[in-house]
């Protein structure tokens, strides 16, 4: 009998990372792929990206609309509550053998909580990482504690999952799954990408993705305005914006992008969702990813290109030497741009190593474990104790 593997996705970027694994599960004759879609995928405001999943040839088994029309703390809390109820109903209908959940978003947290209450094992991807200053940090570690199989992106992250009390035998360092796309996709040429985006690259080019730091109240507008002001000060620079996710106060950033771009059509363009192919293709031809997206930390170093990481959202992650860290002030952002275009820094890029490189394709390794791992009594977890020196107590 096929093992039924249910993959949950609630956001465009997350699906882009999961697609290689979904392809692997789908084509394996011993596994049955189930797809549970929710969150931003189902909202017009965020591009109705569930259509991209269907266009890729997948059959969506369940569409669960939980995301409300508010990104306030109350709105997000209501979405989580709605998800807890609706996901449990979906699991009852699908009856999966195991659920795959990636990352740290609130939709993923609700999907995990419903699965654990429903008595369904969880496989978690990208545990042990840090997103300092955002509520996602707590969600990520909570999902780790609810999960039964763990697929981490670096050895350091594997150690952190074990530190949380997870059995080392259930924690697998497989590398970052998003890097499979870089190797597996046939990326667009510069001319083809310009045609697809209706955008012309200049002498200098930047890809900007900025999300709110949700544990900092009302900082999004000021921080993003500082970035916009410094972008305006750059000469002969064209900018591709991708909009913020449905995080608390994310709509503030998106409204600012909507105001900024039409006033500068000669140099700026914005997308609710670029899709994985166009986004990765753009990485080849820009000088840097700018903002606080994990893509700048995990994927961009594989292109031997720079990242300007602003603020605390990605603080705590393992980072390559291609990443320039700065505070969200105009002065620090200005210094970061100066370093980006300095000859000394540019020379370091060619020798940079991406710490998330898996060696072999990550999706294939995860699929093999999902297919073969013994799930009998897996729900009955024990807390794995590591030795701690008395001086640390």
Smallest Cα–Cα separation from 37: which of 53, 20, 13, 55?
53
Higher pLDDT residue, 327 or 218? 327
What tens digit of pLDDT does each residue of 141-162 get? 999 999 999 999 999 999 999 9
Residue 11: predicted pLDDT:
85
311-315: list long-range contacts, CB under 8 Å, 24+ apart.
311/133, 311/213, 311/223, 312/132, 312/133, 312/213, 312/216, 313/131, 313/132, 313/133, 313/134, 313/211, 313/213, 314/131, 314/132, 315/130, 315/131, 315/132, 315/133
- Banded model confidence at residue 85, pLDDT cuts 50, 70, 90: very high
Mean pLDDT of 113-126: 97
Neighbours of 31 (CB within 10 A): 17
What tens digit of pLDDT does each residue of 156-198 get? 999 999 999 999 999 999 999 989 989 888 999 999 999 999 9
Residue 263 has pLDDT above 80, yes or no: yes
The bridge status of strand 62-64 relative to strand 237-242 is unpaired
Residue 391: predicted pLDDT:
58
Residue 5 has pLDDT above 90, yes or no: yes
| Coil, strand or helix at 31 | strand
Same fold, 3-177+358-392 and 187-349: yes
* Domain boundary assignment for the chain: 3-177+358-392, 187-349
Tokens of 346: 């540019």
Mean pLDDT of 355-367: 90
Percent of the chain with pLDDT strictly greater than 90: 74
On average, the pLDDT of the chain sits at 91
Residue 121: predicted pLDDT:
98
Residue 244: predicted pLDDT:
84
Higher pLDDT residue, 8 or 294? 8
> How far apart are the C-alpha atoms of 28 and 23, rounded to whole Å?
9
Residue 288 has pLDDT above 90, yes or no: yes
Residue 140: predicted pLDDT:
93
Percent of the chain with pLDDT strictly greater than 70: 94
- Banded model confidence at residue 133, pLDDT cuts 50, 70, 90: low
Kindly report the CATH number that applies to the domain delimited by 187-349: 3.40.50.2000
> How far apart are the C-alpha atoms of 221 and 211, rounded to whole Å?
11
What tens digit of pLDDT does each residue of 340-357 get? 999 999 999 989 999 998
What Cα–Cα distance (Å) separates residue 283 from each residue in 190, 220, 289, 292?
11, 25, 7, 15
**Which regions of 13-168 does DSSP assign to beta strands (E)?**
31-38, 62-64, 98-102, 122-125, 149-152
Smallest Cα–Cα separation from 77: which of 88, 86, 66, 87?
66
Residue 389 has pLDDT above 70, yes or no: no
Residue 67 has pLDDT above 70, yes or no: no
Local structure of residue 274 (DSSP, 8 states): -
Residue 75 has pLDDT above 90, yes or no: no
Cα torsion 285, 291, 295, 298 to 10°: value is 100
Kindly report the CATH number that applies to the domain delimited by 3-177+358-392: 3.40.50.2000
Higher pLDDT residue, 71 or 258? 258
């Amino acid at each position: 009998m096929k093992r039924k593997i249910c993959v949950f996705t609630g956001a465009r970027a997350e699906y882009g990372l999961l697609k290689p694994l979904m392809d692997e599960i789908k084509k394996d004759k011993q596994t049955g792929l189930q797809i549970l879609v929710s969150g931003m995928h189902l909202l017009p405001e965020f591009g109705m990206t569930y259509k991209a999943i269907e266009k890729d040839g997948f059959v969506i088994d369940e569409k669960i609309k939980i995301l409300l029309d508010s990104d306030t703390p109350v709105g997000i809390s209501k979405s989580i509550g709605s998800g807890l109820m609706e996901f449990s109903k979906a699991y009852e209908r699908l009856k999966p053998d195991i659920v795959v959940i990636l990352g740290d978003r609130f939709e993923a947290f609700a999907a995990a909580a419903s699965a654990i209450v429903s008595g369904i094992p969880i496989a978690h991807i990208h545990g042990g990482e840090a997103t300092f200053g955002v509520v996602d940090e707590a969600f990520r570690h909570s999902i780790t504690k609810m999960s039964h199989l763990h697929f981490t992106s670096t050895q350091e992250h594997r150690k952190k999952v074990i530190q949380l009390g997870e059995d080392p035998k259930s924690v697998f360092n497989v590398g970052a799954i998003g890097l499979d796309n870089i190797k597996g996709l046939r990326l667009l040429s510069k001319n083809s990408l310009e045609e697809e985006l209706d955008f012309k690259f200049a002498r200098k080019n930047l890809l900007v993705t900025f999300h709110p730091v949700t544990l900092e109240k009302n900082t999004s507008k000021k921080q993003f305005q500082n970035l916009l002001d410094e972008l305006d000060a750059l000469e002969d620079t064209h900018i591709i914006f991708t909009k913020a996710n449905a995080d608390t106060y994310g709509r503030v950033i998106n409204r600012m992008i909507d105001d900024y771009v039409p006033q500068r059509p000669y140099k700026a363009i914005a997308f609710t969702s670029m899709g994985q192919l166009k986004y990765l293709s753009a990485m080849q031809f820009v000088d840097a990813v700018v903002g606080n997206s994990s893509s700048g930390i995990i994927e961009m170093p594989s292109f031997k290109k720079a990242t300007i990481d602003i603020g605390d959202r990605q603080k705590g992650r393992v980072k390559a030497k291609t990443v320039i860290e700065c505070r969200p002030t105009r002065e620090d952002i200005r210094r970061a741009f100066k370093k980006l275009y300095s000859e000394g820094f540019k020379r370091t890029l060619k020798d940079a190593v991406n710490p998330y490189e898996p060696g072999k394709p990550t999706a294939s390794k995860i699929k093999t474990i999902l297919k073969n791992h013994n799930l009998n009594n897996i729900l009955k977890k024990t807390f794995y104790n590591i030795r701690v020196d008395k001086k640390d107590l």
